[in-house]
Structure 1
């Protein structure tokens, strides 16, 4: 702990990583593999806390905690991952500075600097590459001091559907309303798999996706997740085809989307995802 008695992950004290798992989209293997990747890319001591409605099958070294209680009517038909709002307030016995990681990230470099950068009271997010002029945060990887975002819960609780309709994504809401503002990870620490790793057409038919130099974490925003990258498909409804067959499918009625998207959305199986995404 620091001089104020707050655990901040610095100077040899415990680095705290949190994640959240609800429903059935992600099985326990996602959390277990996240734990494995963290353990290989961090200077101990560390703890991974999983806030979940079902802790079955999780590795015994993972600290399982119940989903924080937050009484509100969840927004409907919205794009953002608003259940993440449960983590903005009280986290029980988890105090101090925490690094949040989505379950579908791939850790490709050391995580220590995510704890030492800036002031422990700062809220750090990734810069969303989809909205470069807006400077919207990306909450697949963010750092906060537990409780600092609690005022956002009060705003959200008052009108969850209205907030979701206005901001669409929870990360836009956090970016605009985090007390004291937000700061963005240095350029290059985070890489967006689709935007930064997959080669542009037509090279996507020839080359495997790559890890950008200096990237520490690769995020998988959208429907494309690590299992898809391993299989060489754009989403779980896609099927992997040899390059020439995929091109033929663009013209013989087998494609599911526009011609340009079909050609851009070809992915060769990614060997480094298979190698790194393990317990």
Structure 2
């Protein structure tokens, strides 16, 4: 497919990549991600989706085959280990620096600073707030140079299940084993929706989740997608209104941790629709 954003080689092209495999995310996720990127970046840029199914993907997106990796992916693990396909010596026809984005992020401000931060050869991850006592990166948004993570892939290929069992998440494996170490983007640039956007209890029943000052990308780890947040659902199985949510506190699993259940409620988030669109 011809690249509609290509320019002469004398101009530096910002390269954004994503990966889509299986059926968890439909083509609409790739299409919306492209739309958000195109509205929040200074051209020229390339947007490449590595995928096993191009059906329904908008023509502006460069679809390339999933990078080959002949291993059995780990089972019963929380990490997204198929991302390890991106760590090889080659990455389709791409060379140089690339910015990886998860399919389910919401972009709310310019991506340009992600290409200006640090040095071109740096491996730069987003800050992960889940373990504040551990310097841990987040791979929902991270930047690296094609071919710079080959040693990670070789370690992973030697014992995929063992690596997954030891590190649990691929971002911990990358953080601790990337050649030369990793840097982290400023904390405020990439924010966790549940941790930084939703209101604390009891304000979560009266005030809509907010976009934190300085945020550029909102990430949605776990079983909460942007579509759920738009509906006012904390996850795919949650109630979308306060009355039903409060009523379900009598369920055995919620009675064990009632405060946790009360905290796990959000009002419908209409601002997501403003950004999360084609």
Q: Which residue of 2 aligns with 1:166?
A: 166
Distance 1:47 1:256 in 2: 50
Q: Distance in 1 between matches of 2:251 and 2:53?
A: 44
CA distance in 2, matches of 1:96, 1:52: 20
Q: Deviations over 1:245-271 (max 9, x none)?
A: 422332477959732222111111101
In structure 1, distance between residues paired with 2:141 and 2:39: 18
Q: C-alpha separation between the residues in 2 aligned to 1:257 and 1:28?
A: 39
In structure 2, the partner of 1:201 is 201
Say what the alpha-carbon RMSD is for the aligned residues.
Answer: 1.8
Identify the range of structure 1 (84-93 vs 252-261) with the bigger mean alpha-carbon deviation.
Answer: 252-261
Could you tell me which residue of structure 2 aligns to residue 81 of structure 1?
80
For normalisation by structure 1, the TM-score amounts to 0.93
Partner of 1:25 in structure 2?
Answer: 24
2:123 is matched with 123
Give the unaligned 5+ runs of structure 2.
Answer: 1-5
Residue by residue over 1:65-84, the C-alpha shift from the partner in whole angstroms, topping out at 9 and shown as x without a partner, is: 00010011111111100000
- 1:14 is aligned to 13
Structure 1: 4+ residue segments shifted above 4 A: 252-257
Whole-Å Cα distance in 1 between the matches of residues 192 and 47 of structure 2?
23
Q: 1:254 to 1:122 in 2, by over 3 A?
A: closer
* SS, match of residue 86 in structure 1: helix
Counterpart CA distance in 2 for 1:213 and 1:83 is 33
TM-score between both structures, scaled by the size of structure 2: 0.93
Aligned residue in 2 for 1:3:
none
Q: Shift of residue 117 of structure 1?
A: 1.1
Aligned to 2:223: 223
1:233 alignment counterpart: 233
Q: Counterpart of 1:144 in 2: which secondary structure? A: strand
Alignment correspondent of 2:277: 278
SS of 1:250 mapped into structure 2: helix
Judge which range, 249-258 or 84-93, deviates more: 249-258
Show structure 1 runs of 5+ residues with no match: 1-6
After TM superposition, the structure 1 = structure 2 runs for residues 83-122 of structure 1, keeping only pairs within 5 Å, are: 83-89=82-88, 90-122=90-122
1:67-113 deviations in whole A, cap 9, x for unaligned?
01001111111110000000011112111100000001000110001
How many equivalent pairs are there? 270
Aligned to 1:34: 33
**Matches of 1:163 and 1:251, distance apart in 2:** 40
2:268 matches 1:269: yes
Aligned to 2:155: 155
